[in-house]
Structure 1
Amino acid sequence: MTRSSPEVDTIVFDVLGTLVDLDGAVRAAVRALVPDADDDRVDDLAARWEEHVGAEHRRVIAGERAYATADVLDREAGRLVAERAGATDRTAADEVESPTRQVAAWPDSAAALDRLAARYEVVGLSNADLTTLLRLDARAGLRWHLSLSAELAQSFKPDPRVYRMALDRIGRPAERTLLVATHAWDLRAARAEGMRTAYLARPTGDPPTPDDAFDHHVTSVDELLAVLLDRPSTGDPA
């Protein structure tokens, strides 16, 4: 489903979950940590990792904790998971402490960025810290005109400061900048800052509610490409 929206100059992609399979990377790291665990046990441990990271993001945004990089929070979560699992394998524990650096791209991500970059300014905006984002982009084959981390705002999405930082760096009006994400919470925050929004369905995303009013709802990157590339870009060549 697509709503009417003006032309955009810049397409900003969320990274974790939207272009790369973070959930799969966390579960793979947990399985390596506890090889004999059944699916329920893996789900429980992976959920513990994700809960810690999410909770600490919220604490930073609320001012209850000083900013710490995403890598620090990932390692905290990994240690909690290793302790809960009773794991003693140091190599496997290292992997569950930094699954973001091991994450793989969804199969269609790299090709989509290449096609869009020929017509639009393409930007990545991630909660991953700058160093982790560098390693992740290289591993997953993600190529951007600009890669931005929430670290630059010393916070995490959905803090409004992150989107304002991105808009300042891009130098485009919010209404001519489109955020693409699989997380409805991310899109709501971007929309509140005046950005255009596109929900991209992924197996582990956060789907919109009936009350959400995003500009585009697409079920695949190919559908997003068809929607965007069907219209002429009016932005300067990137």
Structure 2
Amino acid sequence: MEIDALVFDILGTLVDEPAGIRAAVHRAAPDADADELVGRWLSHVETEQRRIVEGVRPYVPSDVLDREAAQSVTKTDVTPKLPTWPDTVEGLTRLAEHYPIIGLSNAGRTALLRMNAHAGLRWHQALSAEEARTYKPDPAVYELAVELTKTKPERLLMVATHSWDLRGAQSVGLRTAYVARPVGDPPSAADRFDFHAESLADLAAQLGKSRM
């Protein structure tokens, strides 16, 4: 398997989105049930993204959906700061020694800029679904990475903790790598991904063997 670049999901795969939202909710509503409000926040964003992909709602960037969710659950415009997983920065650095690293996120451009500044993420290019005016798993989002790299889809490896995201990548021919995270969407018995890793270090080790 020859890989020209790694394409990374960000929310959930590289940053702990629920933890960041939980901290923001706690700041805005310290006496509320944070776990319940986080669930409502994420459910709102997921539902609205799905409606946009289905053409039920016109496209709006992720900042708008997060602001709607924040208003709904805390009655404020609180903005989360999303922490990285413990292995994220070191893992990206290690992988970047051998591959171009591309971030591909449902987060809008402004949210990506804010996230990168806070989390210290490293890549060679970050792509937002905002450029396609839709959301993953719409094939148009994954095609952004194909267009950027000017390579065949099967020479790109999509890395994510969400199986639905990897299935979307497979729909346009990308290779796939599942990385386990506590907040992920584990593979089903029917899923056939190219790599299954317990961490970014594990993924780097597996890719190293595949290069031999």
Secondary structure of residue in 2 paired with 1:187: helix
1:9 paired residue among 4, 11, 27: 4
- Residue of structure 2 equivalent to 1:36: 31
Q: What's the offset of the Cα at 1:9?
A: 1.0
When normalised by structure 1's length, the TM-score is 0.86
Q: What's the offset of the Cα at 1:7?
A: 1.8
Does residue 169 of structure 1 match 2:161? no
Does residue 59 of structure 1 match 2:51? yes
Tell me how far apart the structure 1 counterparts of residues 22 and 54 of structure 2 sit (CA, whole Å).
29
- Aligned residues with identical type, % of pairs: 51
Greater Rg, structure 1 or structure 2? 1
Does residue 185 of structure 1 match 2:185? no
1:24 paired residue among 4, 9, 19: 19
| Uncovered stretches (5+) of structure 1, i.e. residues with no partner | 1-5, 84-92, 234-238
> CA deviation digits over 1:93-127, x for unaligned, max 9?
332xx22xx11111111111111111111100000
How much is the aligned-residue C-alpha RMSD, in angstroms?
A: 1.3
1:104 paired residue among 78, 83, 93: 83
Counterparts of residues 16-165 of structure 1 (less than 5 Å)? 16-37=11-32, 41-83=33-75, 93-95=76-78, 98-99=79-80, 102-165=81-144
Does residue 232 of structure 1 match 2:211? yes
- Higher mean alpha-carbon deviation, 73-82 vs 131-140, is at 131-140
Q: What's the offset of the Cα at 1:230?
A: 2.8
Q: What's the offset of the Cα at 1:136?
A: 0.6
Asked if the contact 2:127–2:145 (Cα under 8 Å) also holds between the matched residues in 1, the reply is: yes
Tell me how far apart the structure 2 counterparts of residues 46 and 176 of structure 1 sit (CA, whole Å).
37
> CA deviation digits over 1:53-82, x for unaligned, max 9?
011101111111111000011000100002
Runs of 4+ more than 6 Å apart? none
- Higher mean alpha-carbon deviation, 145-154 vs 25-34, is at 25-34
Asked if the contact 2:92–2:200 (Cα under 8 Å) also holds between the matched residues in 1, the reply is: no
Asked if the contact 2:127–2:144 (Cα under 8 Å) also holds between the matched residues in 1, the reply is: no
Does residue 215 of structure 1 match 2:194? yes
- Residue of structure 2 equivalent to 1:198: 177
Paired amino acid for 2:72: L
Paired amino acid for 1:42: A
Q: What's the offset of the Cα at 1:28?
A: 1.2
Paired amino acid for 2:207: L
Secondary structure of residue in 1 paired with 2:202: helix
Tell me how far apart the structure 2 counterparts of residues 133 and 155 of structure 1 sit (CA, whole Å).
16
Q: How many residues align?
A: 212
Tell me how far apart the structure 2 counterparts of residues 128 and 158 of structure 1 sit (CA, whole Å).
13
Paired amino acid for 1:22: E
| Uncovered stretches (5+) of structure 2, i.e. residues with no partner | none
